[in-house]
Amino acid sequence: MISIQNKSMDIPIIQGGMGVGVSLSSLAGHVAKCGGMGVISAAHPGYQKEGFRKNPKETNLIALKEHIQKAKEIAKGKGLVGVNIMVAGKGYDDLVNAAIDGGADAIISGAGLPLDLPRLAKNKILMAPIVSSARAIKLILKMWDKKHECTADFVVIEGSEAGGHLGFKVEDLEAKKTQSLEEILDEVKEEVTFYEEKYKRKIPLFVAGGINTGKRLKDMILRGASGAQIATPFIATYECDASDEFKQAVIDCHEEDIELVKSPTGFPGRAIVNSFVEKTRVNGPICMKNCLDCMIPCTPSSTPYCISEALISTAKGQLNQGLLFVGTQASQVKEMMSVEDLINRYLREMEEA
């Protein structure tokens, strides 16, 4: 049992938020039902809804609240339901307010530093930054303490093996010069100690990126983590909200198919190299029609591709136009299973370790 403030989880697993349309109510609800924290991605949760093209912002806010409610219904009072909100996305404040109004238990926020999250969310919902270095958590916790007189309820520490956007320099990733997840955990642990003492509470740490076995998870817990945030293996589950085509692509991929890719957000990403990725590498900037106006760092006139359209295509199963974000461990995913069986595999391996 892991306590986070006045809430608790039966198992040490957070399912990582995956946009677009990969972790919505079905996946998050079933993870919560098993006693973990299921996380809904706030990246275009309304992509399937009527009205999305006309008014994406409003449609996404309505859809986010609906997915939180549905996930809670599936969970039947068990576990926790969180929302992943990217700092680099536009409309951040509205998404935070929708997550709170919708009744989510937690907001997990990365792809940038969520320095201002407490202004909207303090004492209303659990707040967790995602960081990839001790420097980042130091900055965030200092700001939250000084400006907002609060600290993080928990922290997600994402290492270089994760999927989606990565919080490391592309040169360091390519040269394999990034710190190990273990090293980052040790350093972040040191940084949070001061605030644990000041606010007289534990700040649970969850490691993410390449946590592929219960043994690895147990090792991290023995080293001081409270648990792990796991994403890629959940794609190949029956309950995952992703398209069947994406699930199959994860099952079929090999280690050599997974590479670093450029994203219009400016962050490097990790994905399965398919015909779409190959096209983006040779073609120049595209002419954006129907811009969804979603990412702060994106320049529509010079973007090599639209990240939202590419991820929406994957969510719809149109893989030749889609970006397939995965973590390094995707090549070890070999079969489709239920969320319960996947979680039980981790728990069994933890016991055996």
**Could you list the residues that contact ligand FMN (CB under 6 A)?**
16-19, 22, 41, 43, 84, 86, 110-111, 130, 158, 161-164, 208-211, 229-232, 325-327, 329
Instruction: Give whichever of 201 and 317 is closer to ligand FMN, judged by the CB atom.
Output: 317
Instruction: Give whichever of 43 and 188 is closer to ligand FMN, judged by the CB atom.
Output: 43
In the bound complex, what is the minimum distance in angstroms from residue 19's beta carbon to ligand FMN? 3
CA distances from 29 to 19, 33, 52, 180, 337 (A): 16, 6, 23, 31, 16
Count CA atoms closer than 13 A to 32's CA, side-chain side: 31
CB contact at 8 A, 211 and 158: no
- For 65, the enclosing helix (H) or strand (E) is helix 56-75
In the bound complex, what is the minimum distance in angstroms from residue 242's beta carbon to ligand FMN? 8
Torsion angle (degrees, nearest 10) of CA 190, 195, 197, 201: -110
In the bound complex, what is the minimum distance in angstroms from residue 197's beta carbon to ligand FMN? 28
Instruction: Give whichever of 107 and 203 is closer to ligand FMN, judged by the CB atom.
Output: 107
In the bound complex, what is the minimum distance in angstroms from residue 22's beta carbon to ligand FMN? 5
In the bound complex, what is the minimum distance in angstroms from residue 13's beta carbon to ligand FMN? 10
**Nearest CA-CA partner of 25 in 9, 44, 45:** 45
Instruction: Give whichever of 151 and 329 is closer to ligand FMN, judged by the CB atom.
Output: 329
In the bound complex, what is the minimum distance in angstroms from residue 291's beta carbon to ligand FMN? 19
Instruction: Give whichever of 145 and 349 is closer to ligand FMN, judged by the CB atom.
Output: 349
**Nearest CA-CA partner of 121 in 97, 91, 88:** 97
In the bound complex, what is the minimum distance in angstroms from residue 162's beta carbon to ligand FMN? 4
Q: Whole-angstrom Cα distance, residue 114 to residue 148?
A: 12
The token pair at 199 is: 């606010």
The token pair at 320 is: 């030749």
Instruction: Give whichever of 145 and 332 is closer to ligand FMN, judged by the CB atom.
Output: 332
The tokens 């409309």 sit on which residue? Answer: 91
Instruction: Give whichever of 185 and 197 is closer to ligand FMN, judged by the CB atom.
Output: 185
Strands 324-325 and 164-165: unpaired
